[in-house]
A and B are shown apart, each in its own frame.
Chain A
């Protein structure tokens, strides 16, 4: 087990630096540069030179790559070209919205998808199964942004139940309110985005759970449990479910990049101040420090969570042996 973890980490390290190198190469190959006079005609050549030097953008790409790594190890991700603020600060301001949205959406997906998947497998071929399967197809095929727009149209515009967009009520609110009220307000703003992202995700959790459950239900030890005369509910919830849910751990780890993608789109629909918005802002101005900083952090998070999922999988299922 320890050997497996160490080997995996040794595999992840070149992957991580590969991603980083790829990003630097892409930026080097791309036409155009930051601070070009196309973006702001007032920029003079001398000024531009000075600015490029300030951000070390005049150095050759190889040196920039190693400089960046040396700085990043010390926790310095550079300074944003347009904001004049450290990249780490900008990312930490955008991170809460994205994380709140993605984590709540993931919980919603699992809370809805897994029980429905189990029911679907237990009642395979019956009416319930057909209905849930159709819902799963709808969920997988519905574009998140269109779903979000429809939710806004129904619940905000027509019924007036929820706010149209934003990550909380505008400023006068929040000066005199208690922390509880602010959180309640935030939750109220997040109902629609979390539903949009969570329900789309629920469909795939449902399908994986159903497939995994069906596989387990047909195995010998379940037949043994039935032969012993155990109650059906006990067979399903105590014997089958435990094994059927193990592969879901892997799915959780694997779905993370998709979750971030979905969250970027959802943020755009509902006007949430998250990573997606920051990236869209940054790419317009060729804000290389932000682009690299953000992609690095996302890559670390996804690589780490894939590794954690693999380890958890082995812990949860003693039959899995990684030599």
Chain B
């Protein structure tokens, strides 16, 4: 009897969620700017997937006689100092930059959800410890800490992902904690308690669906900031190291005077790609926020 009631409850909730997401989708579709950004983003992702597959050039193989060709019909974006095709490298770099952004966001959202819900749900010393930890991380400037960690532990892609995730979890953790503190007092949580549903189920089955909109908005905006951070770190020579391209280290040639003065094709395209991608993620994230949170609409 008890089981049946719980099941009914969940099915009811599932239907409600579907409706809710349909509302969110309709709201989002009204925002022309956000829909446009979403399409541009899709196009960029498709290019990153397919250009390296269909390109006649490899991102590694180079021909010394082809070095530093300005954009031309053979090489749409020209070639670099050792003769690699930059059009191909741009989108291989995009795979890495986007991949790091997605993976880091996945990890820190997972960590943030876990710690944030523990912190909000249990309060007391659990909350104190997690909040002090997050204060520790967020009072260090990201760039400085990342430089130190990467210099000490090497700059392989897994290390970079771990570093980014370790330094960016406090943001989402606080958001989740704040939301849970609010929802903890809600009547349906009292109902859960009365029904004797265990803590784990209360968090994952009953709180998570309510938090999902915030998590999605946060994750979208977070991908943008991780892409920016990775690019900045790679630009400083502390991120992904060549020959693996990323949008950040593709701009690095701009730090040399010769390139800056005469070879704009080397660093302008990756710069534009970072800017465009990050802006699209920001606009989509903003559009999603307006769609899921009626209070923020038009703000």
Contact = CB atoms under 8 A, between A and B. Distances in A.
A257 B141 CA distance: 4
A258 B141 contact: yes
Interface in B151-191: 151-154
A240 interface: no
A149 B153 contact: no
A279 B172 CA distance: 28
Interface string A302-323: 1100100000000000000000
Interface stretch (A14-22, A56-64, A191-199): A14-22
A125 B298 CA distance: 8
Interface stretch (A42-50, A78-86, A241-249, A259-267): A259-267
Interface string B99-122: 000000000000000000000000
A152 interface: yes
A298 interface: yes
B140 interface: yes
Interface in A129-143: 137-138, 140-143
Contacts of B286: 137
A30 B232 CA distance: 23
Contact of B271 (A18, A150, A262, A291): A150
A236 interface: no
A18 B136 contact: yes
B299 A152 contact: no
Contacts of A146: 251, 267, 271, 274-275
Contacts of B135: 11, 15
Contacts of A258: 141-142
Contact of A264 (B133, B141, B254): B141
A302 B140 contact: yes
A214 B299 CA distance: 7
A30 B141 contact: no
B279 A298 contact: no
B283 A137 contact: yes
B278 A143 contact: yes
A294 B196 CA distance: 52
A124 interface: yes
Interface string A191-221: 0000000000000000000110011000000
B232 A22 contact: no
B195 to A, nearest CB: 35
Interface stretch (B7-15, B60-68, B74-82, B256-264): B256-264
A105 interface: no
A269 B255 contact: yes
Contact of A19 (B136, B147, B264, B282): B136
B140 A279 contact: no
Contacts of A259: 141
A113 interface: no
Given A164-B257, A261-B142, A306-B139, A141 B232 contact: no
A26 interface: yes
B271 A26 contact: no
A249 B238 CA distance: 33
A264 B275 contact: no
Contacts of A279: 144, 147-148
Looking at chain A's contact residues, the main secondary structure is: helix
Contact of A261 (B143, B148, B224, B251): B143
Contact of B274 (A143, A210, A260, A269): A143
B140 A143 contact: no
Contacts of A163: none
Interface string A2-38: 0000000001001100110011001100111000000
Nearest to B146: A261
Interface string A99-133: 00000000000000000000000001100000000
Contacts of B235: 143, 145, 265, 268
Given A22-B136, A149-B254, A295-B148, A257 B282 contact: no
A7 B40 CA distance: 49
A295 B271 contact: no
A299 interface: yes
Interface in A143-183: 143-146, 149-150, 152-153, 157, 164
Interface string B270-299: 010011001100110010000000000011
B208 to A, nearest CB: 27
A299 B133 contact: no
B147 A141 contact: no
12 contacts: A11-B132, A19-B136, A26-B149, A137-B279, A137-B282, A138-B279, A140-B279, A145-B232, A152-B260, A215-B299, A258-B141, A276-B143
Interface of A: 11, 14-15, 18-19, 22-23, 26-27, 30-32, 124-125, 137-138, 140-146, 149-150, 152-153, 157, 164, 210-211, 214-215, 257-262, 264-265, 268-269, 275-276, 279-280, 283-284, 286, 291, 294-295, 298-299, 302-303, 306
Given A143-B274, A298-B144, 16 more contacts: A138-B275, A143-B228, A143-B232, A146-B275, A214-B298, A257-B139, A257-B141, A257-B142, A260-B141, A268-B255, A276-B143, A283-B147, A286-B152, A291-B148, A295-B148, A298-B141
